[in-house]
């Protein structure tokens, strides 16, 4: 990679923090920033930050990710998820710098019964999904040298996510009821980060022949939220924890402000073909994350 840094936007987020870990492990030159250093909703803030560090490539790991809250804050979601990527892509186009941008399976309506390919039409069901689809279009319109990576059901030992919520509820309750008719792929932020660093290295090494475009990046396989929860508790049990019973319920019994795709499974053939990237089975990342979290708890109790 060149001597210029990789700019990572979104310092405290799950993927941004995983990027910091992956970057440190591989001695990559990363400059990571989030609010208040860079505010994606302000063009001047984006330009000032990027002008200051002159990156070789930009990775946008920042987003408005509160899926249910976005139903009542759609304008704010669009400011962050559409206008932010637009400002980034405009700056990148003006300075001939590539942009790696992260998007979501929620751009699809989930009516398919086969995994979504990158060529399938977007039809988001929620304000969050609409704002992310608009962000993708903003990047494509402003900058040809982009890679958009759609991922799903992201979890890590940091931040708020389904895995951590399950462990917390599991410590409080004997029975947990979890939706069993929505399908997707739990994907570790660490695996996403590692793949993004690989992609950055690849496109910087050979920009002229880089396979710019949109790709699906999720762990191997798929499950339901109920299957995800059961796997989390199976992993916690291995670590010696008491675990609750996990009952399967339909979406209708767990109404949420935002509609989610019923089938959000993404086909990852293209990213394997273009970049040789294939993430491990989703169960492996879950076990690793649960080990990390339960080990932290044990250390804290001992300390
Ligand atoms: N989480 C999922 O399940 C999931 C699923 C599919 C795709 N994705 C996508 O994956 C990417 C990373 O998600 P994540 O789970 O790592 O997100 P996250 O943990 O919610 O972090 C999002 C980050 O964005 C920052 N941010 C929000 N508004 C900003 C602004 N105006 N300017 C600068 N930074 C701002 C937040 O900063 P503050 O700390 O200041 O709020 C936060 O650090 C996003 O593009 C998301 O849409 C996530």
Q: Tell me the domains of the chain and their CATH numbers.
A: 6-159+187-219+264-280 (3.40.50.720)
Mean pLDDT of 178-182: 97
Concerning whether 128 is annotated as a catalytic residue, the answer is: yes
Query: Left (φ > 0), alpha (ψ -120 to 50) or beta: where does 274 sit?
Result: alpha
Beta carbon of 63 within 6 Å of any ligand 1 atom:
yes
Ligand 1 pocket mutation pick from 20, 34, 87 by most atoms within 8 angstroms of CB: 34
Beta carbon of 15 within 6 Å of any ligand 1 atom:
yes
Mean pLDDT of 22-27: 92
> In the chain, what percentage of residues exceed pLDDT 70?
97
What is the model's pLDDT at position 300?
54
**Has residue 9 got a pLDDT over 70?**
yes
Beta carbon of 179 within 6 Å of any ligand 1 atom:
no
Beta carbon of 156 within 6 Å of any ligand 1 atom:
no
Give the chain's end-to-end CA distance (angstroms, integer).
Answer: 41
What is the model's pLDDT at position 148?
98
> In the chain, what percentage of residues exceed pLDDT 90?
91
pLDDT tier at 159, thresholds 50, 70, 90: confident
> E strands along 152-236, which residues?
154-155, 175-179, 183-184, 187-188, 213-216, 223-224
What is the model's pLDDT at position 242?
84
**Whose Cα sits closest to atom 7 in ligand 1?**
104
What is the model's pLDDT at position 241?
87
Mean pLDDT of 101-126: 97
Distances (CA, A) of 100 to 40, 147, 153, 175, 192: 15, 5, 19, 41, 12
pLDDT tier at 131, thresholds 50, 70, 90: very high
> pLDDT tens digits, residue range 36-79?
999 999 999 999 999 999 999 999 999 999 999 999 999 999 99
């Amino acid at each position: 990679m060149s001597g210029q840094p990789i700019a990572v936007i979104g310092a405290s987020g799950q993927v941004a923090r995983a990027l910091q870990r992956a970057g440190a492990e591989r001695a990559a030159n990363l400059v990571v920033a989030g609010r208040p250093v860079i505010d994606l909703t302000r063009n001047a803030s984006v330009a000032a930050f990027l002008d200051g560090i002159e990156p070789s490539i930009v990775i946008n790991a920042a987003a408005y990710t509160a899926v249910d809250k976005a139903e009542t804050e759609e304008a704010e979601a669009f400011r962050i998820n559409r206008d932010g990527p637009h400002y980034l892509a405009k700056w990148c186009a003006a300075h001939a710098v590539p942009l790696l941008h992260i998007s979501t399976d929620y751009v699809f309506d989930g009516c398919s019964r086969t995994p979504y390919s990158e060529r399938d039409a977007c039809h988001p069901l929620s304000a969050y999904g609409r704002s992310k689809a608009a962000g993708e279009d903003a990047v494509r319109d402003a900058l040809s040298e982009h890679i958009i990576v759609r991922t799903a059901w992201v979890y890590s030992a940091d931040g708020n996510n389904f895995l951590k919520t399950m462990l917390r509820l599991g410590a409080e309750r004997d029975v947990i009821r979890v939706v069993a008719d929505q399908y997707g792929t739990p994907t570790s932020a660490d695996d996403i980060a590692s793949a993004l660093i690989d992609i950055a290295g690849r496109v910087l090494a050979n920009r002229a022949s880089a396979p710019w475009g949109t790709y699906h990046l999720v762990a191997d396989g798929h499950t339901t939220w109920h299957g995800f929860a059961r796997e989390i508790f199976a992993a916690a049990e291995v670590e010696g924890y008491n675990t609750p019973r996990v009952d399967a319920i339909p979406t209708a019994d767990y109404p949420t402000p935002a509609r989610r795709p019923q089938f959000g499974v993404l086909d990852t053939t293209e990213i394997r073909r273009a970049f040789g990237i294939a993430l491990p089975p989703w169960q492996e990342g879950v076990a690793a994350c649960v080990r990390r979290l339960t080990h932290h708890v044990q250390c804290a109790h001992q300390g």
